[in-house]
Amino acid sequence: MREKMTTGKTLAFHSYKGGTGKTTLIANLAAFYAMNGMKVCLLDFDLYAPSLTTYFRKSASAYLNNLLNGEAEISDVLVDLSAELGLDGKLFLGFSSPGKEDVRDIEIKHEMKWQLAALRRFLSAKNQLFEEYKIDYLFLDTSPGIRYWSINTLAAADTLFLIMKNSDMDIEGTKKMVSDIYDSLAKYGSKYFIILNKVPGASPIEEGCWDCDEKAWAAELEDYIGTKVVGSVPCFCDIQFSRHEFLFAVKHPDHPFSKRVITLAEKIKGLAPI
């Protein structure tokens, strides 16, 4: 389903499987944009395994599940973290319910009629974010793999980013998703790109030019999958194994991870200008 054009851009982030660091990466990208004066909204449409409530250590009076059920408006769902984080712009968050019953209900208990009504509510809320809240960028986190709400979320986006690690499982799975899903979405105007995350070799004890290796991997992937790699972020152990790896791009802007996020953010802005 396609709705009327808006001035802001909708970016969906997807992966073939979990464990790619998708949520951490896009939370930092969204916060970086907001830190630099933009109005950003990040919605947790990983409805089957929501994690933004844990990442931001927040709860909400209403969840995206309530919106999809017709029990809440988007204004009830949004949590504004702009002042708390000291951002120059705006950062709105919309959480999915981590409750076991809510997660189970998404596909098991709801028939197609409910799913279509929920999709209409989501698209209406999306328009409202752009028209009333004047959002510059709407970030959509999605569930890994091919699931009903993952596909709906991807179809609602202008630009799609496949986040993956440099492993055989990720490469083969991503290649299949490109041919099965993304090529079809591209026929309706969506653009899609790859972001390599948790690239090995950032440890200072390892020898060799890991940056050179990254470039070689990217070129090889582009040739094999047929999709442009727009950026890569190395795996930094102090982040991956931190108990609470919270918004390094805002809290620790000089960290090498943050610098990579900033570079990636600028590339994404060029691909999806507002």
Per-residue pLDDT band for 42 (boundaries 50, 70, 90) equals very high
> Does residue 4 form part of some domain?
no
pLDDT tens digits for range 51-87: 999 999 998 999 999 999 999 999 999 999 999 999 9
- 212 has a pLDDT exceeding 90: no
> Does residue 15 form part of some domain?
yes
> Does residue 177 form part of some domain?
yes
> Does residue 3 form part of some domain?
no
- 234 has a pLDDT exceeding 90: no
Question: Mean pLDDT for the chain?
Answer: 89
**Mean pLDDT score, 127-143:** 97
**Mean pLDDT score, 228-246:** 83
Q: How many domains does the chain have?
A: 1
Amino acid at site 239: I
* Residue span of the structural domain in which 168 resides: 9-271
CATH number at residue 216: 3.40.50.300
> Does residue 2 form part of some domain?
no
What percentage of the chain reaches a pLDDT higher than 70? 92
More confident call, 148 vs 263: 263
pLDDT for res 202: 55
pLDDT for res 127: 97
